[in-house]
Structure 1
Amino acid sequence: MTRGNARVWHACDDLVARYADGSLPEPDAWSLEKHLEGCAECAVRVSRAVRGTAPNVLLAEVREAVLEAAPPAARPLTAAPVPGPPRAARLLWAAGPAVRGAWLPAVLLVALGAMALEFAGGFHGTRALLLAIAPVVPVAGVALSYGPHADPLYEVVAATPAGGLRLALTRTAVVLAVCLPLLTLTGLLLPASGAPAAAAWLLPGLALSLATLALASFTGCRSAAGATAGGWLCAVLAPVPAAPGGEATQRLAEQLSRCLDGAGAQGAWAVAAALSAALLAARRPAYDRLPRR
C-alpha cells in the first residue's frame, strides 16, 4: 500500500488491479478487504476496478441485452437497498461465546462463592483468595471465547474480513467488561484482612489478557492461556505450601502485596501490558493464519 499522507494509507493501483483480476494472494486480499472497511476512497477504486474487468463487463452487456429484449412488464424494478443489522446486533454476534456457555456462570460462581465463604463459612482472608484467582478469570474467558473449540462457526468467521484479531479483541473486551466490575465489587464487599485493595488486580488482569493474546499468535489460545494463568498462580501461591498451619492465608496476602501493592508493582504491570500490546500489534497478521485445530 502507498502512503497518501502522514496518517492515511491507500492501496496502490497495482494492488487494486491484481485484486480485481483475482491474481492477488489470499492473505493480501484479506488485508485489503479489511482496509476497505474503513477507507471509502479505496473502496470506490476497487469497486470500479472490479466492474471494469472483462467478466463483469461481459455480464453487464448480457444483462442490458436481456433487459432490452424483455417486455416492459417483465423488467425488474429497482430495489431499495436492504439495511444491514443494527450495530448493537452485530456487536452481540461478535461477542458470541464470550457471553454464553459455561464461562459466564463460572464468573458468577467465583463471586458468589467468595461471598459465601467469607460470610456464611466464617473463613477469613477470602479477599486474598479472590485476588489470587481474579487475574486468571479473564484469561480463562479469552481462551474459552475464541478459537475452533469455542465457536462452531469459527472456520467461517475466521475467513471473513471481520475475523482474526479484530474478533479476538472484541471478545476479550466483552470478557473484561463482565469480569472487572463484578470481581472488583465482590472484593470491595469482603474484609481486607491484610490483603491488597480490591482493585489492585485490574492492571495484572489486563496485562495477562494481552499477554495471552500475544502469545496465542505463536501457540494458540488455550496453550497461551495455560502458560500465562499457570505462571501467575505459581508466582502468587509459591509461599503457601511451606507456610505453617493456619498461616497459609497470611502468607498468600503477603505475597499478593509484593505482587500488587505500591507504585513499583503497578508500574511494572503497566509496562507489561504496554509491551504485550506492542507485541500483539506486531503479530497481528498471524491471526489470519492461526491453526484451525
Structure 2
Amino acid sequence: MTAHHPGEQLLLRYARGDENIPADELWAVESHLETCAACRGRLAPEPVADAVWLELAPLLDHTPQMTPARPWRRRLAAWVSPSAGPWLAMILLVTFVAVLLDRITSLTPGDVSLVLLVAPVLPVLGVAASWGRALDPAYELAAATPRAGLPLVLRRTAAVLAVVVPSLLAAGWSTGASLAQWLLPCLAFTAGTLALGGLVGVTRAAITLIAVWAVAIVAPTVALSRTSVAFAPAAIPVWAAALALGLLVIALRRTAFTRLRANR
C-alpha cells in the first residue's frame, strides 16, 4: 500500500485472487476500492486486467471448451429440468400400463378404471422431479438464477402438464374414462403440490399427497371393488374448490419458491 492507494503488485495479486494476501491488507484494499473510482479503474482494462489476461490466455488455449448448446436445446432447458426426462418417460409408461390393464381386465364390470386411479397423481411426480432438491441434482444452480422462483416453477409445471394431459386424454379416450372425472383432480393435485411445497418443500409435498391418495382412494377402491365418491359428478365442485384454493395459496406465497427451502 502507498500512502493513499494500493500498489500495482498488490492490485495484481488482488485481481488474481491471491489467497496469501494478509487479511489486514485484503480488507484495506477492498475498503479502499469501495470509495476510490480511480483505483477501480486501474483494475480494468489497464494494467492489471491485461497482466492477468496474459497469464490466462495460454492456459485457455489448452483448456477443453464446452460445445455450445443448440438453440432448440436452450429453449427446451428453459422449460424442462434435465432431471425430469426419465420421470416424464416413467409417467408415460405408467399411463400405458394402466390402459393395458384396463383393456385386459377390470376390478368389476362398470367399475372405475385404473386410468382414473392414477391420473390425479401422475403430474405430481413430474412436478417433484422438476423442482425438488432430492430429485434434481442441479437445484442449487436453478434456485440461484435471476429467473428462479414461482415463474420458473410454473413454467416447468406447464411443461409437465403438456406431456401428462395429452397422454391422459389418449388413455381416457381408449378406456372410456370421462374427461371431467380426471382433469379437475389432476389439476387440483398439481396446484396442491405447489401450494404445500411452499411450506414443506415440493418433493415432500408430492410424497405426502401421493400417500394420502393411495390410502384414502386407491386402497378402498381396490379392496371394495366400488367406485369412489371422488369420481362422482357431485365431487366436481369439490375438486374445483380445491384447485381454486391451491392457486390462491400459490399466489399468496409466491415468494416462497425463491428460497432454497422450497427445493427440498
Indicate whether the TM-score tops 0.5.
Answer: yes
Aligned residue in 1 for 2:29:
none
Secondary structure at the residue paired with 2:220? coil
Instruction: For residue 220 of structure 1, report the CA deviation from its aligned partner.
Output: 1.1
Residue identity matched to 2:88 = L
The CA deviation at 1:181 is: 1.1
Assess, with a 3 A threshold, how the Cα gap between structure 1 residues 126 and 290 changes in structure 2: closer, same or farther: farther
Q: How does 1:105-254 map to 2 (within 5 A)?
A: 105-119=89-103, 121-123=104-106, 128-190=113-175, 192=176, 197-237=178-218, 239-240=220-221, 243=224, 248=225, 251=226, 254=227
Asked if the contact 2:102/2:113 (under 8 Å) is kept, the reply is no
How far has the Cα of 1:134 moved from its partner? 0.7
Aligned to 1:284: 254
Q: How far apart, CA to CA, are the structure 1 residues paired with 2:45 and 2:90?
A: 60
Counterpart Cα distance in 2 of 1:135 and 1:260: 11
Amino acid at match of 1:234: V
Q: Give the match for residue 244 of structure 2.
A: 274
Judging changes above 3 Å, is the alpha-carbon distance between structure 1 residues 57 and 230 closer, same or farther for their aligned structure 2 residues? farther
Question: Are the aligned partners of 1:99 and 1:174 in contact in 2 as well (CA < 8 Å)?
Answer: no
What stretches of structure 1 of length at least 5 have no aligned partner? 1-52, 67-84
Unaligned segments of structure 2, at least 5 residues: 1-33, 48-69
Contact 2:149/2:258, CA 8 A, preserved across alignment: yes
Of 76, 96, 112, the match for 2:81? 96
Task: Answer whether contact 1:212 1:221 (CA < 8 A) is retained.
Answer: yes
Q: Report the Cα distance in structure 1 between the residues aligned to 2:91 and 2:111, rounded to whole angstroms.
A: 16
- How far, CA to CA, are the matches of 2:38 and 2:240 in structure 1? 56
TM-score, length basis structure 2: 0.66
Shift of 1:259: 1.6
Contact 2:192–2:243 under 8 Å retained in 1: yes
Q: Distance in 2 between matches of 1:289 and 1:56?
A: 35
Task: Please report how far the alpha carbon of residue 226 of structure 1 lies from its aligned counterpart in structure 2 after TM superposition.
Answer: 1.7
Q: What are the superposed Cα offsets for residues 60-107 of structure 1, whole Å, 9 maximum, x if unpaired?
A: 5886987xxxxxxxxxxxxxxxxxx96873443441246412x12212
Q: Structure 2 residue aligned with 1:259, among 212, 223, 230?
A: 230
Contact 1:142–1:209 (8 Å) recurs in 2: yes
Per-residue CA distance 1:100-126 (angstroms, 9 max, x = gap): 12x12212212221332234x344668
Distance (Å, rounded) in 2 between the aligned partners of 1:218 and 1:146? 14
Deviations 1:196-217 (A, max 9, x none): 5144211111111111111111
Q: Is the 8 A contact 1:208 1:228 kept in 2?
A: yes
Aligned-residue identity in percent: 38
Q: Count the aligned residue pairs.
A: 207
Shift of 1:269: 1.4
Which residue identity does 2:152 align to in structure 1?
A: L
CA RMSD, aligned part only?
3.0
User: How far has the Cα of 1:54 moved from its partner?
Assistant: 5.1
Larger-Rg structure? 2
TM-score normalised over the length of structure 1: 0.60
Indicate how the Cα distance of structure 1 residues 62 and 128 shifts in structure 2: closer, same or farther if over 3 A, else same.
closer
Letter in 1 for 2:135: A
The residue identity in structure 2 corresponding to 1:235 is A
More helix per residue: 1 or 2? 2
Measured in 1, the distance between the counterparts of 2:82 and 2:44 equals: 44
